[in-house]
Structure 1
């Protein structure tokens, strides 16, 4: 059987050299955004999409399922954010924020995708989460893109069919691939079981335009720290409306040049429609220890990590170092916690959370672990 190598690309890979990447992989899966903590567009999506198209790398686009918005709203927001599909571009739902795949959510998401694009959505998750009655998913999805966190350390051999019902068409065999095209981070690498033509056959048969009506997801109450983009908005204009520094808004939302936004997009502004964007500091500080990340410090100290970054003038890629003294947005001086857990074979974050009595999401944040939440035996995790 033919096989091709597919790299998973998002803002975590920073600025990718797609001219080099084209010589290292056969195709890419590009993160569009997600709904974990409010619907958002990945800060590097526009560049990654445009660069992949420029160099002619076959591509799928994926959406990280979260708790903000209904399945239908998330699907519509996803397709709106893509900005229209070109021939061969496929769509994927990444469902990994619950102990098992959410069959009802996934089916409804897939139905909305089908309504908007006429395409079937591929489903991505950890192999262990493909449990329960998966028939509704099989009825709507072409196949499963599967991973097995903690043991996907390089073996490209295909796993068993997901729960014996879904065909595994793509296998994430490592989360630690090193590519010349990517500096400063590793890459999730996958095997697609088929050639490039088969990969593209899961995508659009021709151009599919974005929905003509801007997607406006369910909004929180006014003044809670979000702003919804309207037609004609730009970051500078929004900053002027709210009396805020537009560059702060960009950093809070992971936006980078060319700072693309679109109607219906919800932006974090941390102060509501009347906010000034200022971040107070009452003299509280935190001293960085080895292994710290800004997100982990945010969890330990009870502050938003973006606020900590902005207060200390730290921009992307958000580099910090041991013994660095960071100002905090108020509160008492924080002291680091030293409670740890050593990963054993078969562990995954949900399981570790059950063992330790900690929320798995907090464990991920403390250790700077992002989707697809890959861990490995003997890794030492700090506990919140």
Structure 2
């Protein structure tokens, strides 16, 4: 394996965990490549993917997308899901498969699934691909059937990735999961890349499409009309037709990617930072308002909704940052999205805080009643433990993780992690649990 000095391009990879990103600051800091998490399985679309894509494009960065693979979901279905998102977008870097879970499958089975996914993505998009994984997973859970694909390897706190039996070189090296970059609050994975990460014959010159505002995009679905899309985004049919060079507003196609200028967006966040929420089937405006600690009336007002009982799956709602209640008492706030089966007491325990504290800062009147998809604020002052004056690195447990694998990634021991996290049974950790590393 090459050392880190073989890298030609400085890069980062980001998911919704990074929150709001100032791409102008990121670019000015010397970062050239940004990989954006697009999808996971066949059910998750990064709610910030379009926002990140627009920000990176407007700052002339080299862009790539990655898909987090779920072995229990059909590989071709996942490939279709990922490809449907990236189609119509301009990007310079290979489409990446993020494989780091086995879910009980053997190395041969997992590797065959990966090949199926990668070949289907190539067929559907006509673009080059790359495999992202970490060193121990490559050693234990994959086979050399994947050797024909370039490698983007994760191996932290070293200058040269460890050897594995499949690849002897990399096109991408993720050397830290807890770096800091201007323009991003909190930690961010850091990478270096070679020319091999770029799509063959790809144009690395990305035009600036910002035109003074931030641009997002919308992919047309079957049954959509331009007037309905305009209404969802608080703009006009004429404006959408103009910025997308549409001569006939009655003629749009499923899969067509429309630019939605930020200057079209209605409402005012009174100087605050806006976040967005994409409406899902079964949602009501009152439930969404409750999740975000605001009111139905406020959401209707800033989204120009005349009938609060009428919202659409796929509709993007602006949620003013000034709607969010609670205080971090001078600390930095993080958030947690409730999953099915979660209880407030379990979440409190994971983050080293109390049920009462979470209920208080999230305006929850009944601690026994939380909803899947609800976004909870977790005050940084809730975090337990002391790093004796140092900066703590944390890791959020994913499905299929073991404490021993996490320890190996960070060059520590299972015993040490169990000790500093008060884990009595090292074989029992939970997805979503936050593990302190130092």
Same fold (TM > 0.5)? yes
Aligned to 1:158: 160
Q: Is the 8 A contact 1:126 1:147 kept in 2?
A: yes
What SS does the aligned partner of 2:432 have? helix
Counterparts of residues 7-156 of structure 1 (less than 5 Å): 7-24=12-29, 25-35=31-41, 39-67=43-71, 69-98=73-102, 102-131=110-139, 134-139=143-148, 141=149, 143-148=150-155, 152-153=156-157, 155=158
- Cα shift at 1:119: 2.3
Counterparts of residues 232-251 of structure 1 (less than 5 Å): 238=281, 245-247=287-289
- Cα shift at 1:238: 4.5
TM-score (structure 2 length as normaliser) = 0.52
Equivalent pairs counted in the alignment come to: 284
Change (3 A) 1:359 1:92: farther
- Cα shift at 1:315: 4.3
- Which of 358, 365, 377 lines up with 2:432 in the alignment? 365
Distance in 1 (CA, whole Å) between partners of 2:119 and 2:376 is 37
Change (3 A) 1:319 1:158: same
Change (3 A) 1:144 1:77: same
- Cα shift at 1:134: 2.9
- Cα shift at 1:68: 5.2
- Cα shift at 1:58: 0.3
Structure index of larger Rg? 2
Change (3 A) 1:359 1:60: farther
Deviations 1:277-322 (A, max 9, x none): xxxxxxx968946943799x99xxxxxxxx97957x9846543754
Aligned to 2:199: 201
Distance in 2 (CA, whole Å) between partners of 1:193 and 1:120 is 15
RCO comparison, higher one (Cα < 8 Å, 6+): 1
TM-score (structure 1 length as normaliser) = 0.58
Aligned to 2:184: 182
- Cα shift at 1:114: 1.2
Change (3 A) 1:136 1:289: closer
- Which of 319, 340, 351 lines up with 2:379 in the alignment? 319
Change (3 A) 1:211 1:52: closer
Q: Is the 8 A contact 1:28 1:58 kept in 2?
A: yes
- Cα shift at 1:211: 10
Change (3 A) 1:287 1:19: closer
Q: Is the 8 A contact 1:239 1:245 kept in 2?
A: no
Counterparts of residues 207-218 of structure 1 (less than 5 Å): none
What SS does the aligned partner of 1:190 have? strand
What SS does the aligned partner of 1:5 have? strand
RMSD: 4.9
Change (3 A) 1:309 1:44: farther
What SS does the aligned partner of 1:108 have? helix
Q: Is the 8 A contact 2:178 2:188 kept in 1?
A: yes
Q: Is the 8 A contact 2:134 2:154 kept in 1?
A: yes
- Cα shift at 1:161: 5.0
Distance in 2 (CA, whole Å) between partners of 1:260 and 1:10 is 25
What SS does the aligned partner of 1:93 have? strand
What SS does the aligned partner of 1:33 have? strand
What SS does the aligned partner of 2:123 have? helix
Change (3 A) 1:46 1:213: closer
Structure 1 residue 292 corresponds to structure 2 residue 352: yes
Change (3 A) 1:285 1:61: closer
- Cα shift at 1:39: 1.6
Where does the alignment leave 5 or more consecutive residues of structure 2 unmatched?
1-5, 207-217, 223-253, 256-276, 294-301, 304-310, 316-343, 359-366, 384-402, 419-423
Q: Is the 8 A contact 1:34 1:63 kept in 2?
A: yes
